[in-house]
């Protein structure tokens, strides 16, 4: 693009009333529409974001410290160490539990392979990705930070921007293809219950979602076209 073409774009935007100052203030987006800087754009149901360590509905931890997630991670960002379950105070239903669990978000690429490898559905990914750090230590999440609270909700760190609904579809892609990522399990509920949520519904295949959307849209159109004869043909 030449200088004159660049100036033409600048003058065009100027004529639309969109300035750099307005961009930074969040009052207008690139289409010149008034926007709310405190409102996030909706995310896809299968977005990969910040991880959470889940619990069963009875409060027991799902992680058994098998280290499969660490072994499959292509970025080597996960560190796990298992330990024998205390007899008087077991942490998980199995013989072992995740004693140490750390994720280094300076390395993580959010590929979701750890979620697919986990045999107990302990590690999933939320839709949250608006989080930043002022030091390297904060970027290394520990088990205490990753583990959900007593209500099953992810714990919010001071540098995270959680909004309602961002924890509802954690790892939707994995639930859609569970178990073991097999396509024939699309839409089938094969997920164990989670603390605070119960058994989450299986995700529909994309083509079925489109079909449902088209059906609803077509029904709405027919319902307002003036040819409704009460269902008699």
Q: Would you say residue 67 lies in a domain?
A: yes
Q: Would you say residue 66 lies in a domain?
A: yes
Ordered per-residue pLDDT tens for the chain, 233 residues: 566 776 677 666 665 555 555 444 455 555 556 556 667 777 777 778 899 999 999 999 999 999 999 999 999 999 999 999 988 888 998 889 999 999 999 999 988 889 888 988 899 988 888 888 888 999 999 999 999 999 888 988 988 888 887 887 776 666 666 555 566 766 676 678 888 888 877 666 555 554 444 444 444 444 444 434 433 33
User: Could you give the number of structural domains in the chain?
Assistant: 1
Q: Would you say residue 193 lies in a domain?
A: no
Q: Would you say residue 39 lies in a domain?
A: no
Q: Would you say residue 121 lies in a domain?
A: yes
Q: Would you say residue 213 lies in a domain?
A: no
Q: Would you say residue 219 lies in a domain?
A: no
CA distance 188 to 73: 27
Question: What range does the domain containing 62 cover?
Answer: 51-185
Burial (CB count within 10 angstroms: exposed 0-12, middle 13-18, buried 19+), residue 158: exposed
CA distance 52 to 96: 19
Indicate which CATH number applies to the domain containing 82: 3.30.70.3270
CA distance 188 to 112: 20
Q: Would you say residue 150 lies in a domain?
A: yes
Angle at 85 between CA 80 and CA 87, to 5 degrees: 170
């Amino acid at each position: 693009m030449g200088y004159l073409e660049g100036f033409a774009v600048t003058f065009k935007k100027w004529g639309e009333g969109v300035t750099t100052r307005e961009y930074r203030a969040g009052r207008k987006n690139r289409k010149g529409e008034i926007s709310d800087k405190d409102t996030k754009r909706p995310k896809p149901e299968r977005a990969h974001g910040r991880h959470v360590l889940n619990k069963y509905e009875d409060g027991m931890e799902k992680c058994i410290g098998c280290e499969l997630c660490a072994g499959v991670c292509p970025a080597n960002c996960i560190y796990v160490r298992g330990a024998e379950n205390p007899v008087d105070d077991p942490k998980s239903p199995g013989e072992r539990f995740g004693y140490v669990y750390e994720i280094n978000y300076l390395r993580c690429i959010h590929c979701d392979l750890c979620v697919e490898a986990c045999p107990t559905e302990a590690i999933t990914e939320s839709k949250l990705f608006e989080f930043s750090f002022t030091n390297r230590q904060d970027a290394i999440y520990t088990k205490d930070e990753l583990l959900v609270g007593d209500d099953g909700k992810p714990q919010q760190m001071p540098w995270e921007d959680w909004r309602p609904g961002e924890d509802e579809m954690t790892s939707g892609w994995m639930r859609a293809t569970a178990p073991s990522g097999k396509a024939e399990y699309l839409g089938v509920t094969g997920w164990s219950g989670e603390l605070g949520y119960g058994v989450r519904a299986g995700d529909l295949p994309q083509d079925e979602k489109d079909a449902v959307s088209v059906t609803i849209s077509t029904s709405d159109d027919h319902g307002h076209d003036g040819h409704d004869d009460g269902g008699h043909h």
